[in-house]
Amino acid sequence: MTPSLLLLLALSQSPSRVSLVFGGDVIPHDPIKHVASSRARLAEGGNNGGWDHVLGPLSPVLQRADFAIVNLETPIVVLKKPEVGDMVFNAQPPLLAALKRVGVDVATFANNHCLDQHREGIVSTRGYLREAQLLTAGSAENEDAAWTPVVLEKNGLRIGILAVSRWLNGFNNKKDPAQPHVPTVPYAREPITGGHPVDDFLATIRARSAEVDVLLVSIHWGEEYQFAPSQEDRKLARQMLDAGAFAVIGHHPHVLQPVEFVERSAGGKGLVVFSLGNLVSNQDFADVNGSKRDGLLVELVLVRETPTGPVRLASVKGVPVATENKLGGGKKRNVQAVLLDDELEAIDERLLDLRGRVDLRSRDEKKTLEQRRKVGLARRARIESFVLPGMLDRGSESTAALTRPGRDPESLTP
């Protein structure tokens, strides 16, 4: 066999690899919109109404993935008088342009705020997502489109993302399937007109998983501000995995919940992230160590060794995220979603610069930085308590969680 033929053969058998990163809730509370507006820059192409400033620190992680996915917890509208209220959200297209610029590829839109701007808000949001060249799954112009996964294709792998919500804030879908629709799997305690019962939802997973190499379910579920999933949601997690979901990615509680491998009834394991927490919000704005400022980016690497072989989860990595929310110079408020480890590294470097300085200004800065470092380390330890061992290791794609005794990586194949 000639060397060139050997090379072609080797290339044809190279593993297919795709990396994905998932982030939690993007919530444009009014104070954050005000911060973005105050940082807006028109010159040199602008900064998307200041949203680049709010989201920019996340870009190193989002941009290194083949696909980055977040939960868009707001309709996108351009209205003179949008609906407003304490728990009624809206944002304008520059938010989407900023998400795209920092590296987001998919903004799922299936949550309890999808109807905050009525059914017209769903149509508007879908249109602006297309304009921003962001893919999406979830609420759509009709029921069939809302229950259709977005399919990502890379390196020969087809990856579907099905997005659903279990909550709708008292709203309902229209009975007419041609009307704008939010894909919902309601809890019995909050029935939703036009929602799909669990059995129908599982049938959808079975059907859709057969159409792709990997089906991931993005689900808006659970109780707000609770750090553990309910037994009802644990049961549904296993049912989704049994029906063919490769992994389940959850959000809505606005705090972190565990990342776990869950046994399938027929054997093997699937990954369940019960809640990613907030990616950016104004919650806990007055509490520098508030748990609603905790977030997590979860990076998955999917690998298929041969063109017709199964897809396996090669590695899982977690990146801790925090929402900075503080007054800056001149009492100007600053809100940013930041990579916590990068923040801690920057603090340590600055403290090193200040070592030995005894002037009053340096001492005050050191005191402030030491307090920030203390809070940051406490936050990181809290985030680490929710993830698999080794997930937050820096500098490499951790496979510690996959190689511990009893966790055979091959058993993760659906």
pLDDT (tens digit per residue) in 186-200: 999 999 999 999 999
User: Residue 44: its pLDDT value, please?
Assistant: 73
Tell me the pLDDT tens digit for each residue of 199-234. 999 999 999 999 999 999 999 999 999 999 999 999
CATH of 16-326+388-412, one of 3.40.50.720, 3.60.21.10, 3.40.190.10, 3.90.650.10: 3.60.21.10
Measured CA to CA in angstroms, residue 352 lies from 347, 357, 366 at distances of 9, 10, 10
Q: Max CA-CA distance within the chain? A: 76
Q: What is the rounded average pLDDT of the residues 157-166?
A: 98
* DSSP3 helix / strand / coil % (the chain, rounded to 5): 35, 25, 40
What percent of the chain is predicted at pLDDT more than 70? 91
Tens of pLDDT, residues 9-38? 444 568 999 999 999 999 999 999 999 999
Inter-residue contact 253 to 270 (CB < 8 Å): no
Residue with the larger pLDDT of the pair 11 and 249: 249
Determine contact, residues 116/139, Cβ cutoff 8 Å.
no
Mean of all residue pLDDT scores within the chain: 92
What are 343's two structure tokens? 């923040």
Residue 236: exposure state from Cβ atoms within 10 A (0-12, 13-18, ≥19): buried
pLDDT value at 409 more than 60? no
Q: Which two tokens stand for residue 92?
A: 């304008």
- pTM of the full structure: 0.92
Contact 401, 299 (CB under 8 A): no
Q: Which of 351, 298, 292, 350 is nearest to 325 (CA)?
A: 292
Q: Is 4 exposed, middle or buried (0-12, 13-18, 19+ CB in 10 A)?
A: exposed
Helix H or strand E encompassing 159: strand 157-165
Query: The tokens of 53 are what?
Result: 């400033």
User: What is the pLDDT, as a whole number, of residue 396?
Assistant: 42
Residue 169 pLDDT greater than 90, yes or no: yes
Q: Where are the alpha helices (DSSP H) in 132-170?
A: 143-146
User: What are the pLDDT digits (tens) for 291-325?
Assistant: 999 999 999 999 999 999 999 999 999 999 999 99
Rounded-to-integer distance, Cα 139 and Cα 329, Å: 41
Which DSSP state fits 66? S
* Whole-number pLDDT of residue 400: 35
* 3-class DSSP state of 335: strand
